[in-house]
Amino acid sequence: MNKKNLLIAQSGGPTCVINASLVGVIKEAIKNDNINTIFGAINGVDGIINNKLTKLELSEEELDLLSLTPSAYLGSARHILSRDHNDEEHNKILSTIKGNNIGYICFIGGNDSMDTVDKLSNFFLSINYPCNVIGVPKTIDNDLVLTDHTPGYGSAIKYIANTIEELSLDTDCYEKGRVTIVEIMGRDAGWLTAGSKLASLNGCGPDLIYLPEVPFDFGKFYMDVERIYNEKKKCLIAVSEGLKISNGQYVLNAFSNDSHHDKFGHLQLGGLSQILATLVKQELDLPTRYIELNLMQRCSSHIASSTDINEALSSGAFALQSVINKTAKFVSFVRKEEYQISYELKDVKDVANKVKCVPTDWIINGNDVSDEFIKYALPLIKGEVKHTYQNGVIKYLKRK
């Protein structure tokens, strides 16, 4: 048999389980007769362009450690491929692929990375070069279309729900508390912020939850906050960083002059909770506090969901099985009732650059989410991970 080499890349914002997806691909590749050497691209598509590859020869023990390690082991990238198949970038990519006898690429990433998978696979198809490319989904944002959910989301909302519960207990301890505004990631979709609702199952959820799917109404917001504070002498609020007013403008931008766009045209948000806390103090004269959950949302592997880890591992394995004779596809998560996940391939062109939002009929009264959301999200955070601690700090695997 004419064996080919495998190339794995990671891209986009890191998560708690993007390395578990990597391990899933590697472990399955070791068993697969079509594959010779397993390479990793250092820093995503940048590594492919610049021929910066590393041989992935990890022991079983290292692989197990890596599957529980946050961040992207191979390094990530934010590079966007051009559409011109004849430019220098594409010449260099082809040189790397030919020079290393790569026949299969598994590309682990989110929305923007699926765009890369789409472009790469079309490039190879257009020049009739035998290299298959499959996308393995990852994103804490859970905003990919055509998949039940994305790996990374379950661990992120497990962190968020547990942290909201602990903050709820903490902020409840004074007779007269504050309006505490907790800012959660999510540019265009409120999946992560909705996850705060899961703390309510233990009686410690937020009092108010605001998602970007519904236009943010300042008048109603002030009324909501005042009502809760009058009743409870405290108010815990979960807000999505991407809240928008009715004309589609980000709330943040309405109060800020220095908004920046990243290379993909996304707005770099941050600081919304600070603005809302200032406004609540001004308008309602109530004591406030703002908290950003920040990067901890995507890297708190110490409280990862084992369901999430296991699905990342098995979706990686499924991607490897698929890449042997398929290209231009991505791995879609399919849910059966009584929570069971299987995987299917779908065309990657149909997922790239699209956003899946929280269904608006799951959003109640503009300030809460429904039991349908809980039913959807609860299975994703179940199960705890057993970490190895070394010196009181978790042992993780770092690339040398």
- Give the residue numbers annotated as catalytic, written as ranges: 141
Distance of closest approach, residue 350 Cβ to a second copy, in angstroms: 28
Q: CB under 8 A: which stretch of 97-105, 117-125, 212-220, 289-297 binds a second copy?
A: 289-297
Q: Does 275 bind a second copy (CB under 8 A)?
A: no
What is the C-alpha separation between 241 and 215, in angstroms, rounded? 13
Considering beta carbons, is residue 111 or 332 the nearer one to a second copy?
A: 111
Structure tokens at 25: 């691909």
Distance in angstroms (rounded) separating the CA atoms of residues 276 and 281: 9
State whether the Cα torsion 319-325-330-336 is positive or negative. negative
Task: With CA atoms as reference, report the closest residue to 236 among 253, 224, 254.
Answer: 224
C-alpha of 147 from chain center = 13
Under DSSP, is residue 25 helix (H, G, I), strand (E, B) or coil? helix
For the bound state, the minimum distance from the C-beta of residue 334 to a second copy, rounded and expressed in Å, comes to 21
264 binds a second copy (CB under 8 A): no
DSSP class of 356: P
Told to check if 381 binds a second copy by CB under 8 A, we report yes
Q: Which amino acid is at 99?
A: G
The pattern of x and - marking residues 318 through 357 that bind a second copy according to CB under 8 A reads ----------------------------------------
Question: Of 20-28, 76-84, 136-144, 229-237, which segment contacts a second copy by CB under 8 A?
Answer: 76-84
Q: Contact with a second copy (CB under 8 A): which of 300, 314, 315, 367?
A: 300
286, two tokens: 């109530």
Binding status of residue 391 toward a second copy by CB under 8 A = yes
Task: Name the minimum Å distance from CB 217 to a second copy.
Answer: 27
Beta carbons within 10 angstroms of residue 282's beta carbon: 10
Closest contact distance (angstroms) between CB of 294 and a second copy is: 5
Q: Are 288 and 181 in contact (CB under 8 A)?
A: yes
Stretch that binds a second copy, among 237-245, 288-296, 317-325, 332-340 (CB under 8 A): 288-296
Token pair of 327 as six digits: 């290209």
User: Which sign does the torsion angle of CA 257, 235, 290, 263 carry?
Assistant: negative
Tokens of 186: 């999510």
Q: Contact 158/304 with Cβ under 8 angstroms? A: yes
Report the nearest approach of a second copy to the CB of residue 212 (Å). 22
Q: Give yes or no for residue 201 binding a second copy (CB under 8 A).
A: yes
Q: Please state the closest distance from residue 116 (CB atom) to a second copy, in A.
A: 16
Which residue ranges make up the site for a second copy (CB under 8 A)?
Answer: 14, 43, 46, 69-72, 75-78, 158, 161-163, 165-167, 169-175, 198-199, 201-204, 289, 291-292, 294-296, 298-303, 305, 378, 381-384, 389-396, 398
